[in-house]
Amino acid sequence: MPPFDRSIAAPMPESVKRPGGFSRIPGTQGRDSYNEPMQLLAGLNDEQLAAVTLPAQHALIIAGAGSGKTRVLTTRIAWLIASGQAAATQIMAVTFTNKAAREMLARLGVMTSLNVKNLWVGTFHGLAHRLLRAHWRDAGLPQGFQIMDAADQLAAIKRLLKALGADDEKFPPKELAWFINAQKEAGLRPEGVEAHDDYTRRRVELYAAYEAQCMREGVVDFAELMLRSYELLARNEPLRLHYQRRFRHILVDEFQDTNRLQYQWLKRFVGEENALFCVGDDDQSIYAFRGAEVANMHDFVREFEVANLIRLERNYRSHGNILAAANAVIANNPARLGKNLWTEAPMGEPIRVYAAHDDAEEARFVVEEIQALTRQGMPAAEIAVLYRSNAQSRALEHALFSADLPYRVYGGLRFFERAEIKHALAYLRLVANPHDDTAFLRVVNFPARGIGARTIEQLSDVARAAGTSLYAAIEKLPNAAKFAGFCDLIQRLRAIAHLPLPELVEQTLEASGLRAHYRAEREGQERLANLDELVNAAAGFVAEQSLNRASNDSPTVLLDFLAHASLEAGEHQADEGRDAVQLMTVHAAKGLEFDVVFVCGLEEGLFPHEQSLLERGGLEEERRLMYVAVTRAKRLLYLSHAQTRQLHGQTRYAVASRFLEEIPIDLLKPLTMRSRRREYASSWALPARSAGHRFHIGQSVRHSAFGEGVIIALEGGGRDARAQINFGAAGIKWLALSVAKLEVP
């Protein structure tokens, strides 16, 4: 048992509650007599409390949107430790995204005084990686194995097809990658795949060849991390028993998003004496298209005879109307596990529906509403504009940009995915492992050093014949001299690999000529800045590592950094801190919440997307997507659609989405261009202030520069009061009454 830690009893500071949106949780009446570890439990509702304090048995928590899912998960971990039921080392918590893992660790760090890095909290892939690093020999991997991201994998497959002389018309690399990943996620090695036709047989051969290539190069893709660690545990009984005994409690977040392999992987950890605690929401399963199996929730209950099934149905996030709309929409889905969210929050504002003529007008509408809201003091960062597909962001961005509203688009290229960063990392990967052909090919001639396609082809032939990596094949090449400079560079870098990581990175950037290359490029400024940022990232990484580990310049630092870069591509984006309107797809919004949410493009064919209607269960998944979108909003929800929309350069006509019709009409408030103007004033219930000015709508005024005008809208009060005035030929303007010198004729 761990020594009891008194600091655990510290009440959770307000700053921790707020991001989760739990600020409206009622007080802790009647629980004064609780002793210290139990203070962790203060403020939980009955169901949350029941879930958090469940005995060490398998459990499924069906946690509706905004019901305090993450809080339950983290509080349970803290509770298990604080109450002495488990040591920190006996707990494993699995999430899907790095962000979720980080958030869990951050909250735990505040709730407990544990050194949070000792906990096995991480993503499926992160934990799988950890296992493989620890047991690389048993897993049959080289010690310095590297992780390929999706782009690397695709490149590897293209290379494979070329090497085998396979027809890449017949086997499109993307499709082959999808096939291979799908097999791995079904737990199948090439030998296990059933092929009933020539085409599939050939694809299985290519799968086998791909595996051989990966092993030769010492690289693993994302699916391989899962499959190989799964096999490691499945085949190695002592190891499996070790982990089964070690992790008494296994907690899983977003369980509805697990694929088959991930569920099987989890099951390997479950033995006689441990408990699997899964939290999920079948109504928020929006990743079936990439293999997520909601059926895992049913299977889990059945296979483990789960007796503890708790529903968290109280929503702490949204106003009543918003929740009612969400419930009404999702009720149209058959075969749910069943759940009805409720709230004690006020009904709030009705849901505003806007029918635009076209996408440009829809965007203008959104922008004008946002301007009105921000003028009333709504922080821009609390406003999200959601859409079904990325293509829709263009019109919105255009309107926001024209209006000079700061905005941030999620889902762009991530830091470690930028070309210049991948180049730099490729050099570092060669330092760690010169036989990494993907890395080799990426930079052998970048910056250019006179090694052309022809030379590479010769080298490939030699390497294939000898069964070695490209790097190893160089010396066998007749014109090996061509590579002298490159080999020399790699040798020199390998010789200084023992230097502190930031220094090694710095040296790599200089010696490789990457810096010089981008300095010479006209538009290379940003790329140079990114390369500098990579040095910073390395320094930051080392600093963080040295906090957690004793050895800070062990030879694994480089390997760890490279794994970090692959596993956590980094959300690094410009202007992160700035107060900006948030633009993202509905998928990207899962798990987030905002005061105000706009859902755009609610049209048949777009949302629900026409492609989805062709797939089995597609409409249901679209509806869950709608449910996710709606439940992101705390106080104000806007739904908009357009009659026509520019798509692929053509005008498309569409009718309003069926999802709009699934919302009871009395929850909705249709807006029109004319009615809109005055609506938002009452919108999110700022205390009404007296206007404090002498103007009224319809009043005629005179402006020294713009001439005669008529007031068409007024808003705000006191010094913030503004009027929208139509000056005829001079246009329609918003003017601050405290600034503009208006005469009343």
Partner DNA sequence: TATCGAACATTTTTT
Partner DNA sequence: ATGTTCGATA
Q: Catalytic residues, which ones?
A: 69-70, 253-254, 284, 632
Using the contact rule CB under 7 A, the part of the chain among 42-50, 236-244, 284-292, 725-733 near DNA is 284-292
**608 vs 716 by CB, closer to DNA:** 608
**Among residues 85, 90, 612, 683, the one that binds DNA under rule CB under 7 A:** 612
Residue span 18-47 as binding mask against DNA, x where in contact by CB under 7 A, dash where not = ------------------------------
CB of 601 to DNA, least distance (A): 11
Binders of DNA in range 71-110 (CB under 7 A): 96-99
435 sits near DNA (criterion: CB under 7 A)? no
Answer yes or no whether residue 576 interacts with DNA by CB under 7 A. Answer: no
Applying CB under 7 A, what is the total number of residues that bind DNA?
45
DSSP H or E stretch at residue 214: helix 198-217
Of 11-19, 484-492, 607-615, 718-726: span binding DNA (CB under 7 A)? 607-615
Spatial neighbors of 711 by CB under 8 A, at least 6 apart, are: 695, 696, 697, 698, 699, 700, 701, 723, 724, 725
Query: Is residue 222 a contact point for DNA (CB under 7 A)?
Result: yes
Closest CB 288 distance from DNA, rounded Å: 9
Contact status, residue 542 vs residue 554, Cβ threshold 8 Å: no
Crossing angle (nearest 10°) for helices 419-432 and 525-548: 50
452 belongs to the binding site for DNA (CB under 7 A): yes
Contacts of 679 (CB under 8 A, 6+ apart): 352, 669, 671
> Mask 162-181, x = binds DNA (CB under 7 A)?
--------------------
State the minimum distance, in angstroms, from the CB of residue 583 to DNA: 11
User: Do the Cβ atoms of 56 and 76 come closer than 8 Å?
Assistant: no
Question: Is-contact 306 60, C-beta < 8 A?
Answer: yes
Question: Do the strands 146-147 and 219-220 form a parallel or antiparallel pair, or are they unpaired?
Answer: parallel
Please state the closest distance from residue 331 (CB atom) to DNA, in A.
21
d(CA 575, CA 599): 23
Draw the binding track, 643-662, toward DNA (x: CB under 7 A; -: no contact).
---x-xx-------------
Binding to DNA, residues 104-123 (CB under 7 A): 123
Which tokens is 360 given?
Answer: 């440009």
Q: Which of 58, 125, 248, 515 binds DNA (CB under 7 A)?
A: 125
Q: In residues, how long is the chain? A: 745
CB of 590 to DNA, least distance (A): 9
Q: Which segments of 195-296 are extended strands (E)? A: 219-220, 249-252, 275-280
Counting other chains too, the contacts that 441-448 makes at CB distance below 8 Å and 24 or more residues apart are 441/155, 441/159, 441/470, 442/155, 443/512, 444/470, 444/483, 444/486, 446/517, 447/512, 447/513, 447/514, 447/516, 447/517
Interface pick for DNA out of 76, 249, 418, 587 (rule CB under 7 A): 587
Our CB check for DNA shows the closer of 54 and 567 to be 567
Buried b (16+ CB within 10 A) or exposed e, 209-236: bbeebbeebbbbbbbbbbbbbbbbbeee
Q: Is 340 in the site for DNA (CB under 7 A)?
A: no
Is 450 a binder of DNA (CB under 7 A)?
yes
Angstrom distance (rounded) from CA 257 to CA 352: 31
Q: 685-724: which residues touch DNA (CB under 7 A)?
A: none
**Of residues 20, 126, 591, 709, which one binds DNA by CB under 7 A?**
126
Contact between 267 and DNA by CB under 7 A: the answer reads no
Nearest approach, Cβ of residue 154 and DNA (Å): 9
| C-alpha–C-alpha distance, residues 51 and 72, integer Å | 7
Q: Are 350 and 634 in contact (CB under 8 A)?
A: no
* Contact residue for DNA among 1, 196, 453, 739 (CB under 7 A): 453
Q: Encode 458-475: b = buried (16+ Cβ within 10 Å), e = exposed.
A: ebbebbeeeebbbbebbe
CB nearer to DNA: give 445 or 644: 445
* 3 state SS for 4-70: CCHHHHCCCCHHHHHHHCCCCCCCCCCCCCCCHHHHHHCCCCHHHHHHHCCCCCCEEEEECCCCCHH
DSSP codes of every residue in 83-113: TTSS-GGGEEEEESSHHHHHHHHHHHHHHS-
Strand ordering across the sheet containing 707-715:
732-736, 722-726, 707-715, 700-703, 742-743
Q: By CB under 7 A, which span of 70-78, 266-274, 286-294, 315-323 interacts with DNA?
A: 286-294
For position 485 contacting DNA by CB under 7 A, the verdict is: no
User: Distance (Å, rounded) from C-alpha 122 to C-alpha 177?
Assistant: 26
Alpha helices, DSSP H, located in 453-593:
453-466, 470-473, 484-495, 501-511, 514-520, 525-548, 556-567, 586-589
Query: Considering beta carbons, is residue 311 or 527 the nearer one to DNA?
Result: 527
Q: How far apart are CA 225 and CA 131, in angstroms?
A: 9
| CA distance linking residue 140 with residue 716, whole number of Å | 68
**For DNA, the closer CB: 450 or 540:** 450
**Residue of 671, 573, 589, 579 lying closest to 387 (CA atoms):** 589
The answer to whether the peptide bond before residue 608 is cis (omega within 30 degrees of 0) is yes
Closer Cβ to DNA, 286 or 531, answer by number:
286
Closest by alpha carbon to 586, among 635, 617, 621?
Answer: 621
- Identity of residue 596: V
Nearer to DNA, 97 or 236 (CB): 97
Residue 320 or 570 with smaller CB distance to DNA: 570
Binding mask 288-307 for DNA (x = CB under 7 A): -xx-----------------
Q: With respect to DNA, which residue has the nearer C-beta, 170 or 719?
A: 170
Smallest gap, in angstroms, from Cβ of residue 513 to DNA? 12
C-beta of 607: minimal distance to DNA in Å?
9
Using CB under 7 A, which residues numbered 383 to 412 contact DNA?
A: 388-391, 394, 411
585 touches DNA (CB under 7 A): yes
Taking the least distance from each CB to DNA, the nearer of 417 and 708 is: 417
Residue 222 or 541 with smaller CB distance to DNA: 222
Q: Shortest approach of DNA to residue 226 CB, angstroms?
A: 8
Interface residue with DNA, options 362, 369, 568, 593 (CB under 7 A): 568
The minimum distance between CB 283 and DNA, in angstroms, equals 16
Among 54, 220, 425, 567, binds DNA (CB under 7 A): 567
Decide whether 407 or 680 has the Cβ nearer to DNA: 407
CB of 481 vs DNA, minimal distance in Å: 14
Would you tell me which residues interact with DNA (CB under 7 A)? Answer: 96-99, 123-126, 149-150, 158, 222, 286-287, 289-290, 388-391, 394, 411, 445, 448-453, 455, 567-569, 584-585, 587-588, 609, 611-612, 615, 618, 646, 648-649
